[in-house]
Amino acid sequence: MRYASAALLVLLLSIGAQAALRTEAVEYRQGDTLLQGYLAYDTDFQGKRPGVLVVHEWWGLVDYPKNRAEELAKLGYVAFALDMYGKGKSGATPQEAGQLAGAIRGNVDLMRARAQAALEALKRHERTDPRRTAAVGYCFGGGVALELARSGADLKGVVTFHGSLATQRPQDAKNIKGRVLVLHGSEDRSVTPAHVAAFQEEMRSAGVDWQLNIYSGATHAFSNPAARMPERGLAYHEQAATRSWEAMKLFLADIFK
């Protein structure tokens, strides 16, 4: 009987822990395009909380950015995994993902507008403190987060995981209002040393408060456990994934204190 009671207590505690996390699909628009993001927050944290925008890889709003939003929610943030492509659109193959991402990359104004629409949706949520927001982006999404900052968006900070660093408008770095943390793999073939050097010069010239962490042995997409395409230079790297996540946690805690 004692063991049964203990088992019941564990079950109840588990249910209670799960019940604290809330997720919901949120529809919003950018121009005529209907978008649907994924919002997550933890009811154990009271009052308005800092909001963190999560920007997906080139695949679109699939499970990985949603899982990251949930992990951020457990840290006490209101996390919103945005949608850059349109409700229900994602890439099932690298070719499809490349086409979707390419259409956005080729139009910086559209990229910034899509990201800004998501940021406004996050700020409107009743649990979000609209004065304290940040953006966290992965691969393609890292580039989106940086372009949102370059547009002058009111962000306390931006974090990129193996993110795109190149921009068509480096002069816009002067508009960045918050701090920038770049988490980069030393063996990243997609974001080359030349891209990294140009980014550093861009940040220095604009007087941005920035940091760059480079993780040895890590390739592009190093934070995603599902990254298993070494022939394309995409591979999960557990050590870099763990260290970069901890760096992000410290960064967010600092900018929101």
Q: Residue 61 has what pLDDT?
A: 98
In a domain, 5, yes or no: no
Q: Residue 213 has what pLDDT?
A: 98
In a domain, 51, yes or no: yes
Q: Residue 1 has what pLDDT?
A: 42
In a domain, 184, yes or no: yes
Judge whether 78 and 43 are in contact, CB under 8 Å: no
In a domain, 36, yes or no: yes
pLDDT tens sequence across 185-207: 999 999 999 999 999 999 999 99
In a domain, 154, yes or no: yes
In a domain, 30, yes or no: yes
* Sites in the chain below the pLDDT cut of 70: 1-19
Q: Which of 170, 149, 119, 129 is nearest to 46 (CA)?
A: 129
Whose tokens are 């557990």? That residue is: 238
> Rounded to whole angstroms, how far apart are CA atoms 255 and 178?
8
Domain holding 117: CATH number?
A: 3.40.50.1820
In a domain, 4, yes or no: no
In a domain, 2, yes or no: no
Amino acid sitting at position 182 = V
Q: Residue 19 has what pLDDT?
A: 64
Number of domains in the chain: 1
- Write out the residue range of the structural domain in which residue 132 sits: 24-255
pLDDT tens sequence across 120-147: 999 999 999 999 999 999 999 999 999 9
